[in-house]
Amino acid sequence: MPAPISVIIPARNEGGTIAQVVATMQGLPCVAEVVVIDNGSTDDTAMLAGAAGGRVIAEARPGMGNAVRSGVAAAAHDWVMKVDADLGRFETALFDRMSEARAPGVGLVKGAWNDPQDPMPMTRLLVAPALRLMFPGLGDLRAPNTGIYLFDRSRIAHERLTSDYAVDLDVMLRIHAAGAEVAEVDIGRIVHDARNPGHYSSMAQEILAFLLSRQPLGLLDEVVVMAVDEAQAVRHAGGVIAEKLIAGARVSVYLHEGGAALDAVFGGFPTYRRPPLAEAAGHVPGANAARLRVIRAAGAGCAVCDAPVPVEVWETSGVADVSVPLEAGVVLKRAALGWLGLPDLVPSRETFRMVVQG
């Protein structure tokens, strides 16, 4: 039996369409609940959504990403379908196609629609070219930034999603970085109202800023940390571990002993793993990994060098020639040090010696 689906509908002043969208979603056999996120509406959106049978939650912070984050967190089921609130003319059966496209290994199903009045300039001129250059594995999608999609929230740190209109891309990149497949199905014809040029321009700026911010994060550079114990791992590489997990990348920390502090701080990230050090030689990179970065602490043994992707090996001792700035990861590294009873003064950078360059 297919896993149940929670539908989330971010809405701000969508009183003209919200009741129809809620009613349509509730009529689908695969849908177990409909959650409407009232994102600061000044009209009767919330009242109409509730009257139509939706569960309404409020998110006062402006921004599509804030609404999506709240909706995903409130959903009762891991499979979450995000749907636009302003759909006025659409085929009622089109959403079933996304549910049917779920398969082993698939973490996200994008709903590609067509509108004869919309030449999709954002996709053609910005998003698609950027993905082909930055994330080639996603370069063949026809509608990469569609706002209608179905995904498995258990695969990503959804509470870390961006707060603005780039949230739909953020979900996709995190699913891809986690090693899951992004599928795409044709969901038919949807007719939208004419785009507001000023609003569209603002969206384009937010999306461009988001894509530029992803470039230095190396989402597809999978990290493997090899250390004797967790104190060694946290002191030397805790910041890199945190930065990568926050961004959505895969991180495996191989330890000979210990690990409770790491699990307490990082265990909530779906892309975190902590296997025993003895298994490091058999490490298998994720399906979408572009490179393997191995961080090896003193005494941790040999590196993982037989991966099917390029491998870089960094050591935590010796003359440093690699310097990694720490930003968001500082707080989590400090928390891990505190768990271990170690001084929680965290430098602004972690440094390493590169011994193999891939």
Domains of the chain: 5-215 (3.90.550.10), 218-356 (3.40.50.10320)
Residue 316 contacts residue 352 (beta carbons within 8 Å): yes
Structure tokens at 170: 């953020």
**Which residues neighbour 129 within 8 Å (Cβ) at sequence distance 6 or greater?**
none
What does the pLDDT average to over 179-208? Answer: 78
pLDDT score, position 203:
82
Is the pLDDT at 35 greater than 70? The verdict is yes
The yes-or-no verdict on residue 191 having pLDDT over 60 is no
pLDDT 10s digits, 76-126: 999 999 999 987 666 666 788 899 999 999 999 999 866 656 666 777 788
Q: What is the mean pLDDT of residues 183-193?
A: 74
The more confidently predicted of residues 358 and 131 is: 131
The string of pLDDT tens digits covering residues 257-315 is: 999 999 999 999 999 999 999 999 889 999 999 999 999 998 787 767 677 899 999 99
Which amino acid is located at 85 in the chain? A
pLDDT (0 to 100) of residue 43: 95
b/e per residue 91-125 (b: at least 16 CB within 10 A): eeebbbbbbebbeeebbbbbbbbeeeebebebbee
Whether 18 and 9 have beta carbons less than 8 Å apart is answered as yes
Mean pLDDT of 337-350: 94
Over the chain, what is the mean pLDDT?
91
Q: What is the pLDDT of residue 262?
A: 97
Query: Which percentage of the chain shows pLDDT scores above 70?
Result: 92
Residue 196: the pLDDT is 60
Position 319 confidence tier, pLDDT thresholds 50, 70, 90: confident
Q: Is residue 255 within 8 Å of 228, Cβ to Cβ? A: yes
Tell me, what's the pLDDT at 92?
Answer: 62
Distances in Å between the alpha carbon of 193 and those of 86, 98, 312?
Answer: 9, 24, 50
d(CA 28, CA 330): 45
Residue with tokens 């891990």: 336
Distance between CA atoms of residues 293 and 217, nearest Å: 13
User: For residue 110, what pLDDT is reported?
Assistant: 94
Residue with token string 């139509």? 52
> Which residues, 6 or more positions from 121, have their beta carbon under 8 angstroms from its beta carbon?
none
pLDDT tens track for 195-244: 666 666 788 899 999 999 998 899 999 999 999 999 999 999 999 999 99
Identify which has the larger pLDDT, 59 or 95: 59
Q: How far apart are CA 140 and CA 128, in angstroms?
A: 8
> What pLDDT, on a 0 to 100 scale, did the predictor assign at position 27?
87
Three-state DSSP class for 310? Answer: coil
Query: What pLDDT sits at residue 89?
Result: 61
